[in-house]
Amino acid sequence: MKIVVPLLLFFLLAGWTGCGRKGPPAAPEAVAPERVTDLQGDVVEREIRLSWTIPAGERLFRLYKATEPFGQEPCVDCPVRFTQEIDIDTADPKAVDVAGDKVIYRDSAEAGYRSLYKIVVISADGLRSKYSNIVCVPVP
């Protein structure tokens, strides 16, 4: 009987504290990729050249493009309507030029229009970064 009481107390305390699980398991939080912060654009030899730095470990991007007539004054408070989406994989040599950690994307330049661009990074898990800075490239 002397051994039964301590054993009973031990199992009662061990069972009461549990195994450490206090609720349902939680899925790990997914982390969105780092956003592009240095999107730049220029007109070179009658084409628009966009460049940006590749965030570490990323290779997929979605480029958004809007075009507006050059003579028309832009509405300062109006949202830009990005009407084209272009998926870019830096592993595809036909899509872009990659030099170190820089990407160069070429787009056609339309005289009399300004083109506006922004980019999101898409991780291998399909998570999207926040939008990059918007760049405006006028083609007179």
Count how many domains the chain has: 1
- pLDDT per residue as tens digits for the range 16-56: 555 666 678 777 788 899 999 999 999 999 899 999 999 99
Query: In this structure, are residues 127 and 67 in contact, taking their beta carbons and an 8 Å threshold?
Result: no
Assigned domain for 60 exists: yes
The amino acid at 94: K
For 47-94, how does the pLDDT look when each residue is reduced to its tens digit (9 = 90+)? 999 999 999 999 999 999 999 887 777 777 888 899 999 999 999 988
Within-domain flag for 27: no
Residue type for position 74: P
User: Does residue 133 sit within a domain?
Assistant: yes
Dig out the tokens for 113 from the structure. 């229009």
The angle subtended at Cα 66 by Cα 129 and Cα 136, nearest 5°, is 80
Q: Is residue 128 part of a domain?
A: yes
- For residue 76, being part of any structural domain is answered with yes
- Checking if the pLDDT of 132 tops 70, the result is yes
CATH for 115: 2.60.40.10
State pTM to two decimals.
Answer: 0.77
Has residue 34 been placed in a domain?
A: no
Domain that holds residue 45: 40-139
